[in-house]
Amino acid sequence: MVTVLGTLGFHEEKFLPAILATPDVRRVILNFAPGETAEKEKKVQLAVQRVRRALAGTKVGLTEVKLSDPWDISAMLTTFLDELRLEGPGNCVFNITGGTKPMAVAAALACLVTGAKAVYVPEESEKLDIIELPLPAITVRPLLTPTQFKMLRAVAQNEFLSEKDLAGYLRRSAPTVCYHLEKLRQIGAIGEEGTGDRRIVRPKITKAGEVLLLLHERLCTNADKPRGTFHNTP
């Protein structure tokens, strides 16, 4: 039995084909984000309602997951990884077509990490051809050393006044911290916040750093527990 996950925007016609084309579907997890305006929210809700109607009377269970933000890749990635872990990646098909581009990126990253099957319905085509993305064939390896991981997590969880302040917190020498911070800057994980004194900068985690930290935690520690609110429709 298979679980079909998907991201939904304003148009359910790109969401439903993956369900119809997948045999032995027992459950559908519908991920959608709130509209930024009243008009967009109405479009989202109409699309959700049309999916409900399409599945009404079938034996397929529907779980609706309203995401908190259509642009927060880290939060969406956390939700998608939790869903795939609970269902079992080998039992899932993820349709990444609908919703915002960050939703698609988060869904693709989740499939890349877990090995779940990812599919896409070309939005530019009038045909409802389903394309399977070869993401599971790609091997993902952590990009962070243990020291860089501790440093990035520390920056994510604390407000440091300077690199010296960070070095004191980590109980590492200033040159060591400076070296690893530069490596993190090179991969876009760390940025800087000015202080008015050019000699002093505050290290800040970037959005890319947040995603990298999350993926590293999942790959290396698997410490996160499921989060988010799930609403099962009868």
- What tens digit of pLDDT does each residue of 22-70 get? 888 999 999 999 888 899 999 999 999 999 998 998 889 999 999 999 9
Strands 190-194, 201-205: pairing kind: antiparallel
- What tens digit of pLDDT does each residue of 89-120 get? 889 999 998 889 999 999 999 998 888 999 88
pLDDT of residue 175: 92
- What tens digit of pLDDT does each residue of 109-164 get? 999 888 899 988 876 555 667 788 877 555 556 668 888 999 999 999 999 988 89
pLDDT of residue 151: 93
Cα gap 130→134, rounded to integer Å: 13
Q: 107, 37, 43, 100: which is closest to 71 by C-alpha?
A: 100
Cα gap 2→6, rounded to integer Å: 13
Where are the domains positioned within the chain?
A: 2-137, 146-219
Strands 201-205, 131-133: pairing kind: unpaired
Fold of 2-137: Rossmann fold (3.40.50)
Fold of 146-219: Arc Repressor Mutant, subunit A (1.10.10)
Q: 135, 91, 63, 90: which is closest to 3 by C-alpha?
A: 91
